């Protein structure tokens, strides 16, 4: 390590250590939100909660997450070091409070609070890569931190199975929340913006700043929200999220119930197989940025490259239409894996576009609006599924999920304009 400009010894590749630490936050964020879905077969039976009441519980979470624009505005104002620490500590404490839940109404209240705090993750991630990464690395950085979302869901099934076998489902919530509080300490100790980080070398700071677009620099004054939401690029990102995110809601909240009630899986089988679509999603987190990088090397403009990557993911997503028709449960799981892979291929791509198109003091707010749209899509989907699933089954919902992203791709191509 060599001395930096402040006379302290610089740490190599600080930006990658920070994204690595943020991956930990994403893992814990999605672990905390996924525990309920995995434990749902046990909880619903123990507490006599119906499918419709369960849809209300999951919808309460989505309502909380839909406050992402306000959380994003908070992060743009307070900064990531303190603002995101407060959010992470809050979601960790609420996760642990699930041990006191009795009945669907108390679960719904906790899920609303959890969604409100956990909605900070994507706006924080976009603000982080906008501040810490040159444009050529933002797609990869975004893909890496979104791996945390999938890994959190990967770890949830074995954690819940272990907790149930050891004590009860409540233990899983305690473990997930306690790990989040420990992460907050590490974040406070290591994170700062590039201009204030004591271990950032002069060379790395110059590299980061030299690769960022001048048009995306922090403005002299904040853009009014009313002006920001009139920009067509915001809606060009938000509407595809509205159509894409119900797939993640299906995988996170409803897949364990589907495997238990339709495919006849017990808790041990769910622990063995339910994490596989999320492992495939991890690969999608890397595949989307790889497609963008390949197209850019071929001379394709950055925005067009992202649109092509999204479109490829939308085409792959059509495999989901066949899940309900598969007679073999393992074929159904394979198709769900393709869905997870396709979703993260396109989701990471469209999420990252916020940092390509908006200033660094706008990006968390814009990502929050896009997150609101995505979670509104999950809310509408889960309420509809909860109301109809006992009557029509899961098959029609898989068909809808397989086709919605084709519409999202059309919106992305028609509404998002390339920067002048």
Q: Which residue has the higher pLDDT, 305 or 386?
A: 305
* 3-class SS letters over the chain: CCECCCCCECCCCHHHHHHHHHHHHHHHHHHHHHHHHHHHHHHHHHHCCCHHHHHHHHHHHHHHHCCHHHHHHHHHHHCHHHHHHHHHHHHHHHHHHHHHCCHHHHHHHHHHHHHHHHCCHHHHHHHHHHHHCCHHHHHHHHHHHHHHHHHHHHHHHHHHHHHHHHCCHHHHHHHHHHHHHHHHHHHHHHCCCCCCCCCCCHHHHHHHHHCCCHHHCCCCCCCCHHHHCCCHHHHHHHHHHHHHCHHHHHHHHHHHHHHHHCCCCCHHHHHHHCCHHHHHHHHHHHHHHHHHHHHHHCCCCHHHHHHHHHHHHHHHHHHHHHHHHCCCHHHHHHHHHHHHHHHHHHHHHHHHHHHHHCCCCCHHHHHHHHHHHHHHHHHHHHHHHHHHHHHHCCHHHHHHHHHHHHHHHHHHHHHCCCCC
Distance (Å) of CA 138 to CA 142, 296, 351, 359: 6, 13, 11, 14
pLDDT at residue number 7: 45
- CB count within 10 Å of CB 327 equals 6
Q: What are residue 51's DSSP bridge partners?
A: none
Per-residue pLDDT reduced to its tens digit, 42-100: 888 888 888 889 889 988 988 898 888 888 888 888 889 999 999 999 999 999 999 99
pLDDT at residue number 220: 54
Q: Which residue has the higher pLDDT, 118 or 76?
A: 118
Where do runs of H (alpha helix) occur along 221-320? Answer: 225-228, 232-244, 246-249, 255-261, 267-273, 276-297, 302-317
Average pLDDT over every residue of 259-285 = 87
pLDDT at residue number 145: 81
Contact between 182 and 27 (Cβ < 8 Å): no
Q: How does residue 126 score in pLDDT terms, banded at 50, 70 and 90?
A: confident
Examine the pLDDT at 398 and tell me if it is beyond 60: yes
Residue found by looking up tokens 């307070």 in the block:
78
What residues contact 396, with CB distance under 8 A and at least 6 apart?
324
Average pLDDT over every residue of 265-283 = 86
Q: How does residue 420 score in pLDDT terms, banded at 50, 70 and 90?
A: low
Contact between 280 and 383 (Cβ < 8 Å): no
Average pLDDT over every residue of 375-387 = 85
Poorest-pLDDT segment among 163-167, 178-182, 187-191:
163-167
| N residues, the chain | 420
The first and second tokens of residue 278, run together, are 């999320």
pLDDT at residue number 278: 87
Task: Compute the mean pLDDT over every residue in the chain, rounded to the nearest whole number.
Answer: 87
- The full DSSP string for 302-342 is HHHHHHHHHHHHHHHHGGGGGGGG-SSHHHHHHHHHHHHHH
Go through 383-407 and write b for each residue having 16 or more CB atoms within 10 A of its CB, e for each that does not.
Answer: bebbebbeeeebeebbbbbbebbee
Q: How does residue 204 score in pLDDT terms, banded at 50, 70 and 90?
A: confident
Per-residue pLDDT reduced to its tens digit, 207-238: 888 876 666 555 556 677 778 888 889 999 99
Q: Tell which residue, 103, 120, 122, has the closest CA to residue 53.
A: 103
Task: Using only the alpha carbons of the chain, give its radius of gyration.
Answer: 21
Q: Which residue has the higher pLDDT, 3 or 410?
A: 410
Contact between 128 and 18 (Cβ < 8 Å): yes
Q: How does residue 399 score in pLDDT terms, banded at 50, 70 and 90?
A: very high
User: In angstroms, how far apart are the furthest CA atoms of the chain?
Assistant: 69
Per-residue pLDDT reduced to its tens digit, 148-166: 877 787 788 888 888 877 8
pLDDT at residue number 1: 52
Q: Compute the distance between CA of residue 263 and CA of residue 255 in angstroms, rounded to an integer.
A: 10
Q: Compute the distance between CA of residue 207 and CA of residue 10 in angstroms, rounded to an integer.
A: 14
Q: What is the pTM assigned to this prediction?
A: 0.73
Contact between 89 and 114 (Cβ < 8 Å): no
Average pLDDT over every residue of 6-15 = 68
Residue found by looking up tokens 């938000």 in the block:
238
Q: Compute the distance between CA of residue 284 and CA of residue 306 in angstroms, rounded to an integer.
A: 14
DSSP label at 362? T
Residue found by looking up tokens 């690969």 in the block:
283
Q: What is the torsion angle, in degrees rounded to the nearest 10, for the CA atoms of residue 354, residue 360, residue 364 and residue 367?
A: -10
Q: Compute the distance between CA of residue 37 and CA of residue 270 in angstroms, rounded to an integer.
A: 11
């Amino acid at each position: 390590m060599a001395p930096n400009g402040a006379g302290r010894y610089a740490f190599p590749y600080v930006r990658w250590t920070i994204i690595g630490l943020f991956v930990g936050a994403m893992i814990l964020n999605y672990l905390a939100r996924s525990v309920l879905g995995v434990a749902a077969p046990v909880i619903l039976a123990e507490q006599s909660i119906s499918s419709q009441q369960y849809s209300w519980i999951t919808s309460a979470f989505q309502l909380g997450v839909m406050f992402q624009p306000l959380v994003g505005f908070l992060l743009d104002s307070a900064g990531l070091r303190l603002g995101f620490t407060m959010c992470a500590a809050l979601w960790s404490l609420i996760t642990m409070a699930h041990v006191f839940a009795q009945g669907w109404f108390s679960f719904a209240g906790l899920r609303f609070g959890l969604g409100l705090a956990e909605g900070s993750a994507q706006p924080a991630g976009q603000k982080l890569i906008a501040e810490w990464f040159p444009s050529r690395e933002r797609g990869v950085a975004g893909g890496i931190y979104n791996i945390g979302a999938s890994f959190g869901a990967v770890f949830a099934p074995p954690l819940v199975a272990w907790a149930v076998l050891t004590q009860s489902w409540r233990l899983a919530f305690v473990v997930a929340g306690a790990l989040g509080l420990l992460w907050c300490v590490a974040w406070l100790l290591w994170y700062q913006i590039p201009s204030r980080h004591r271990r950032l070398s002069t060379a790395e700071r110059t590299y980061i700043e030299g690769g960022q677009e001048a048009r995306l620099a922090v403005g002299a004054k904040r853009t009014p929200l009313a002006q920001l939401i009139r920009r067509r690029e915001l809606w060009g990102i938000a509407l595809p999220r509205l159509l894409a995110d119900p797939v993640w809601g299906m995988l996170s909240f409803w897949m364990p119930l589907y495997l238990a009630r339709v495919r006849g899986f017990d808790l041990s089988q769910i622990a063995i197989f339910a994490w596989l679509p999320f492992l495939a999603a991890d690969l999608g987190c890397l595949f989307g940025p790889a497609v963008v990088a390949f197209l850019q090397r071929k001379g394709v403009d950055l925005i067009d490259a992202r649109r092509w990557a999204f479109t490829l993911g939308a085409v792959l997503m059509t495999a989901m239409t066949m899940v309900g028709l598969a007679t073999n449960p393992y074929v159904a799981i394979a198709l769900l894996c393709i869905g997870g892979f396709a979703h993260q291929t396109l989701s990471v791509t469209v999420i990252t576009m916020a940092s390509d198109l908006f200033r660094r003091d706008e990006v968390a707010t814009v990502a929050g609006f896009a997150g609101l749209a995505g979670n509104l899509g999950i809310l509408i989907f889960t309420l509809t599924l909860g109301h109809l699933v006992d009557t029509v089954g899961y098959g029609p919902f898989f068909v809808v999920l397989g086709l919605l992203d084709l519409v999202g791709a059309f919106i992305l191509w028609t509404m998002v304009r390339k920067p002048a």
